Structure 1
Amino acid sequence: MSNHIENFPLGKELTLNDSSNPLTIHTTSLSLTKQNHQIIECRLTFQVTPELYHRIDTEKLFNLKPEVRAPMSGGNFLPSGDIQIETTLQPDLLPQLLEKASTAEEAANYLLQLCQQPENPLTNKLLSTESWLCLSVKQQQPNGEVGYNTFWNYLNPSTINDPEATSEELSAGIVNFFQEWTQANLAEATQNATSEFLEGISSIFNELVDETFSDTEEDTTTNQSIFTAIVNFFESDQWQFVKIPETSALRLLFRGENGQWTCYAQAREEQRQFVFYSICPVKAPENKRLAITEFITRANYGMIMGNFEFDFDDGEIRYKTSIDVKEDNLSLALIKPIAYANVMTMDEYLPGIMAVIESEVEVKEAILRIEG
C-alpha cells in the first residue's frame, strides 16, 4: 500500500494559540499524505528561533512531553540558528480541515485565513498548539544535523487510526522507540524511571486512541449488543483500544512478561458470539513453517480454553478464545476469562515460538520447556 505526499511551500508567518500567549511561527511547508486517494495525514513544518524553542520546550507545546522524546542525536542545540519543527495534525481534526480543503495549497491558505478571522473556538482549534503533535525537532549546524524525533515519528497517529494497519507496523514503531530510549538511558535509568516512562507512554497513547463510548448503556436483556458488552468491559478494565471503522471489532495492545502484541476483540452479533485473538508479534518464515506447524499441534493438544491457529501461507500465528451466548447475556464476568486466558497463553508460549523460529531448538524440547 503506497502513500502519495503532496507538499506545498509556505514561507509565511502563522500565529497559533496556546493556553497563555499567541505563538507566531515561520512556516516552511504543509503537506498532505494520501493513501488510496484518501487524505490520511496533514503535516506542518516550521522554523523558530532558539529563544522561541526554549518556550516551546519549557511549556511542552505541540505535545512535547518528556516521555515522548527520543534521545538527542549529534550533540546539543546551538544558541544561534533556526530550529526546524515538524508536526502532524491530530487525526480527529483532519475531517474539519478537509471540509475546507482538498489540496495542500488549499489547506495552507485556509489556515492562514483563520489567523485573520475573529476568535472562533471551533475553527481556531486547528490553530491550537495542542492540536498538533510534534514529530521531530532539528537544527542544522556546521558539523551536521542535531536534534531528536518523538514517539509519534515512530508510531504515526495516522497508522494507529488506520483499520488496515498490521500488528507488525504497530509493534515495530513502539519497539523501535523504546529500544532507542532504553539504549540512551540504560546507564542512568532505574526500574522506577523505566516504569514512569512506560506509564507516561501508556497515558499518551490512551489519550490519542482510546475511543469514548459515553452514550453506551448496559443492557441486561438477551438482546444486548455483543459489541456494547465488549466495549464496556475493555473500558472498565482500562485497556487501550481502537474501534475499527465499519466493523464490530476492537484492536488492542497487550504487554506481557515475554513480549508485546496486538489483539482483536470481535463481536459476531448474528451468531451471538464473542471472539478474542492474540496475534503473535512475529511471523514464521517459510523455512520454519513445518516446525511451527508441529509446535502448534503439540501446544493445542490438551488445551481447554481456546487454541492456536497458524496461517501456513503467510506465517501468521494467533491464539483464539471465544464464547457463544445465544441464550444468555454477555456479561463482564464472562468476557474477562476469555480475554485473560488468551493473553496469558500467548505470553506463556511466546518464548517457545521464538525459540523455534530464531534458533535450532527442537520443537519437542521447546514444548517441554513450557509444559514440563
Structure 2
Amino acid sequence: MPQTTAGPGVCTDPAWAETEASGYRAGAELFMDPTEGTPLAGTPLAPITLKLVEDGWPIQHDQNEPTIFTTFEGKNGRRRAVVVFEPELERLLVYAILVETSTESSRSPQLELLTRINYGLGTGCFEMDLDDGEIRYRVTLPAAMAMPHVLVPMLVDACMTVDTYAPAFDSVVDGTPVQAALHQLQTTFGA
C-alpha cells in the first residue's frame, strides 16, 4: 500500500485502507463514483479511474492534485504505480515504481544499468532520483489521447516492464557487475 508521505507522485491520503476496503467495486448493487468531488472529476483521469476500478485495480487518489495511485503484483514483487494528469502541459504521466530508495553506494551501478536498458527501450524510460535513489519507469501520453482503452494498456506495460527488469536491478545491488546482470536478463527474458 502507498505510504503516507508528501511529495509529487506519493499518496497523501491516510484513508487508503478504508478506500480499498470499501472497494468501489464494479458490479456491486450500489456503485459510488470514486472521482466525484475529487481533483479527478472532469479530467481525463475520471474515466480512466472508473475503468481501472471496473477491472479490479486497487485505486487511491491524491486529495489535492489529479493523481491516482495503485499497486500491482508481478512475478518479482509488489510495487506501486502512479498516474498523474498535468493540465498545464496537457499530458498524463504513468510511473511504475521499481525501487523506493537505494543506498548511495548502489546508485552508480543502478544508474549505469538503467542507462544501458533505456538505450534499447521502445516506449518508456527508467529514471532515477539522485537524491534518494528512487527508480521508476515513466511513460508519457498527450491528454488528447488519454482514453481508458489507450492508457490502461500503457499502465499494464509499464508494470510489466518494471517486473521484467527488477531482477537485474536487484542483482546489481547485490554486487553483480552491470554487464553480467544484463547478460543474465537477456538469457532469461530475451530482453
Q: TM-score normalized by structure 2?
A: 0.77
Alpha-carbon displacement from aligned partner over 1:36-77 (angstroms, at most 9, x marks no partner): xxxxxxxxxxxxxxxxxxxxxxxxxxxxxxxxxxxxxxxxxx
Report the equivalent of 1:164: 6
1:350 aligned to 2:163? no
- For residue 255 of structure 1, the aligned residue among 73, 83, 97 is 73
Instruction: Tell me: CA distance 1:208–1:323, structure 2 relative to 1, closer, same or farther (3 Å).
Output: same
Cα distance in 1 for residues equivalent to 2:117 and 2:9: 23
1:289 aligned to 2:107? yes
Alpha-carbon displacement from aligned partner over 1:247-302 (angstroms, at most 9, x marks no partner): 10011111111011111111122333121111124522111111111101111012
Instruction: Indicate if the aligned counterparts of 1:250 and 1:265 stay in contact, CA closer than 8 A.
Output: yes
Alpha-carbon displacement from aligned partner over 1:54-103 (angstroms, at most 9, x marks no partner): xxxxxxxxxxxxxxxxxxxxxxxxxxxxxxxxxxxxxxxxxxxxxxxxxx
Report the equivalent of 1:338: 154
Instruction: Indicate if the aligned counterparts of 1:260 and 1:281 stay in contact, CA closer than 8 A.
Output: no
Q: Map residues 109-124 of structure 1 onto 2, 5 A cutoff.
A: none
Letter in structure 2 aligned against 1:343? C
Report the equivalent of 1:196: none
Instruction: Indicate if the aligned counterparts of 2:97 and 2:135 stay in contact, CA closer than 8 A.
Output: yes
Aligned residue for 1:284, secondary structure, equals coil
Instruction: Indicate if the aligned counterparts of 1:251 and 1:264 stay in contact, CA closer than 8 A.
Output: yes
Cα distance in 1 for residues equivalent to 2:7 and 2:89: 27
Q: Map residues 218-297 of structure 1 onto 2, 5 A cutoff.
A: 225-297=43-115
Give the fraction of aligned pairs with identical amino acids, expressed as a percent.
22
Report the equivalent of 1:206: 20
Instruction: Indicate if the aligned counterparts of 1:306 and 1:321 stay in contact, CA closer than 8 A.
Output: yes
Q: How many residues align?
A: 171
State the superposition RMSD in angstroms: 3.1
Aligned residue for 2:57, secondary structure, equals coil
Alpha-carbon displacement from aligned partner over 1:210-231 (angstroms, at most 9, x marks no partner): 6942676xxxxxxx62121321
Alpha-carbon displacement from aligned partner over 1:182-226 (angstroms, at most 9, x marks no partner): xxxxxxxxxxxxxxxxxxxxx99831576942676xxxxxxx621
Cα distance in 2 for residues equivalent to 1:361 and 1:290: 13
Instruction: Tell me: CA distance 1:265–1:294, structure 2 relative to 1, closer, same or farther (3 Å).
Output: same
Instruction: Indicate if the aligned counterparts of 2:111 and 2:128 stay in contact, CA closer than 8 A.
Output: yes
Instruction: Indicate if the aligned counterparts of 1:254 and 1:263 stay in contact, CA closer than 8 A.
Output: yes
Aligned residue for 2:60, secondary structure, equals strand
| Larger Rg, first or second structure (1 or 2) | 1
Instruction: Indicate if the aligned counterparts of 1:163 and 1:244 stay in contact, CA closer than 8 A.
Output: no
Aligned residue for 1:364, secondary structure, equals helix
Instruction: Indicate if the aligned counterparts of 1:257 and 1:347 stay in contact, CA closer than 8 A.
Output: yes
Instruction: Indicate if the aligned counterparts of 1:167 and 1:261 stay in contact, CA closer than 8 A.
Output: no
Cα distance in 1 for residues equivalent to 2:55 and 2:91: 20
Aligned residue for 1:275, secondary structure, equals strand
Q: Map residues 1-372 of structure 1 onto 2, 5 A cutoff.
A: 162=4, 164=6, 206-208=20-22, 212-213=32-33, 225-326=43-144, 328=145, 330-357=146-173, 359-372=174-187
Letter in structure 2 aligned against 1:249? T
Cα distance in 1 for residues equivalent to 2:34 and 2:176: 50
Give the structure with the larger strand fraction. Answer: 1
Cα distance in 2 for residues equivalent to 1:230 and 1:364: 39
Instruction: Tell me: CA distance 1:249–1:166, structure 2 relative to 1, closer, same or farther (3 Å).
Output: closer
Cα distance in 1 for residues equivalent to 2:167 and 2:153: 22
Q: Which has the higher contact order (CA 8 A, sep 6+)?
A: 2
Instruction: Indicate if the aligned counterparts of 1:163 and 1:245 stay in contact, CA closer than 8 A.
Output: no
